[in-house]
Amino acid sequence: MRTQVAIIGSGPSGLLLGQLLSNAGIDNVILDRVGREYILGRIRAGVLEAGTVQLLQQAGAGARMQAEGLVHDGIDLAFAGRHHRIDLKSLTGSPVTVYGQTELTRDLMDHREATGGRTIYDASDATPHDFDTARPFVTYDKDGTTHRIECDFIAGCDGFHGICRATVQDRGIRNFEKIYPFGWLGILADIPPVHHELIYANSERGFALCSQRSRTRSRYYLQVPLTDTAEAWSDAAFWDELRRRIPADVAERLVTGPSIEKSIAPLRSFVAEPLRFGSLFLVGDAGHIVPPTGAKGLNLAASDVHYLFEGLQGFYGEKSEAGIDAYSGRALARIWKASRFSWSMTTLLHKFPDSGAFGQKIQEAELDYLVHSTAASAALAENYVGLPY
Ligand SMILES: Cc1cc2nc3c(=O)[nH]c(=O)nc-3n(C[C@H](O)[C@H](O)[C@H](O)COP(=O)(O)OP(=O)(O)OC[C@H]3O[C@@H](n4cnc5c(N)ncnc54)[C@H](O)[C@@H]3O)c2cc1C
């Protein structure tokens, strides 16, 4: 088989890139090691920056998000028993949109199928080859046969544990990493959200987040030690602990119900440099991970796609390599700023093992300054809604 761009990974970055390329008349094939339903079973991000919304619309897969996504003009920061609203819209002119990653992925998959895009699911052992020559190719196994795809470029959209970054480990790649000493226990439940916007709560017992996927589906998180397991947390224990970490007036309004998903995600900051190796590009989680506190993971995948799509469009349209040459640098400049923001939100809102009562007071003082200083609120809002591409 021959294509122009072979895309490894059918998550948000692979699907979005594939659709933008197809719309521009650039042939591409997507490979994923698992099947469609498995991918759609993963519960992940839910807050979309305006740039991500715009890209989904540009891809032609934005209709349901437009109809069902919830536009949020603000977020609440809760600490010391109080909560304060950060008015994102009035501070930056831009809101965020709450729409689940599962739904966004489903929309992109459906649109790809409807427009005749090629996706090969259950493709095991996908491997990029010869990407430092003029004739790169990808191999994969399916139904007992090894297949080969000749291509011009390979997009490594295969997530943090994928094969593409692993393949370039001995080619001068630098990995920057910070592991946080806690994780997030998340619950998904078909109950109305406690508040119409998200509440990020700092408390002496640890961080909590009141989030949502729709007006009838809520997502709540608790900071937990990495030694905890989701199975050891009953729903009742989760709701009791959540009530203790959020302000009393919010806890009183909390509607609880049975969880339909419960899992623990470790928190990590990770950036690989560079993101290009010949004709192989690392995109999205394949190249970087942020802790979810700043709601940036999925949005960074989208901005990477934007830069790479522009580069590939320039290559095929104007025969210019300037865009693909600039991809790694442009993407990394934005990635590091989002990594800084995600790290700072994580540091500000979580309880760290060695911070003690002094650390708690410092966090509360910083939060108090943040919500009462227009300049500080504006800086937070500007980063939260997403820095410009
Ligand atoms: C538990 C969890 C919770 C999260 N919560 C949030 C959140 O609240 N907010 C936020 O902004 N972000 C969150 N994120 C991050 C966000 O989900 C990711 O940034 C986003 O999924 C990145 O998209 P991607 O397409 O780059 O990677 P992925 O979504 O990981 O997709 C990669 C795809 O590649 C496939 N693949 C992997 N290896 C291979 C291989 N060898 N061959 C072929 N295919 C392969 C995988 O099956 C997968 O389909 C969360 C992530 C996790 C894991």
Domain of 10, CATH number, reads: 3.50.50.60
29 lines ligand 1 (CB under 6 A): no
Q: How far is the CA of 264 from the centre of ligand 1 (A)?
A: 15
| Domain range enclosing 100 | 5-70+96-177+268-345
Nearest CA to ligand 1 atom 44: 32
Mutate to test the pocket of ligand 1, among 112, 158, 346 (most ligand atoms within 8 A of CB): 158
Annotation marks residue 121 as catalytic: no
The secondary structure of 151-184 as a DSSP string is -SEEEE---TT-HHHHHTTTTT-EEEEEEEEEEE
Residue 374 lies in a domain: no
Query: Using CA atoms, how far apart are residues 280 and 356, in angstroms rounded to an integer?
Result: 46
Q: Which residues contact 286 (CB under 8 A, 6 or more apart)?
A: 9, 13, 156, 157, 158, 159, 160, 162, 164, 165
Residue 189 lies in a domain: no
22 lines ligand 1 (CB under 6 A): no
> Which residue type, as a one-letter code, is found at position 68?
E
Residue 231 lies in a domain: no
State the pLDDT at residue 102.
94
Q: How many CB atoms lie within 10 A of CB 145?
A: 7
Mean pLDDT of 345-362: 96
Annotation marks residue 72 as catalytic: yes
Residue 350 lies in a domain: no
Q: Answer yes or no: is pLDDT of 45 > 90.
A: no
Annotation marks residue 296 as catalytic: yes
Query: Using CA atoms, how far apart are residues 347 and 364, in angstroms rounded to an integer?
Result: 12
State the pLDDT at residue 310.
98
| Average pLDDT of the chain to the nearest whole number | 97
Mean pLDDT of 303-318: 98
- 255-292 pLDDT tens trace: 999 999 999 999 999 999 999 999 999 999 999 999 99
Mean pLDDT of 32-48: 92
Residue 294 lies in a domain: yes
State the pLDDT at residue 43.
79
128 lines ligand 1 (CB under 6 A): no
Tally of domains within the chain: 1
Query: What does the chain come to in residues?
Result: 389
Annotation marks residue 292 as catalytic: yes
State the pLDDT at residue 337.
98
Residue 134 lies in a domain: yes
Q: How far is the CA of 285 from the centre of ligand 1 (A)?
A: 6
165 lines ligand 1 (CB under 6 A): no
Annotation marks residue 89 as catalytic: no
User: H helices of 177-321, where?
Assistant: 235-245, 248-253, 297-317
Give the bridge partners for 219, in sequence order. 188, 211
State the pLDDT at residue 216.
94
Residue 201 lies in a domain: no
State the pLDDT at residue 42.
84
Please tell me the number of Cα atoms within 13 Å of 173 on its side-chain side: 25
56 lines ligand 1 (CB under 6 A): no
Residue 360 lies in a domain: no
- 131-143 pLDDT tens trace: 999 999 999 999 9
Q: 338 pLDDT band (50/70/90 cuts)?
A: very high
State the pLDDT at residue 44.
84
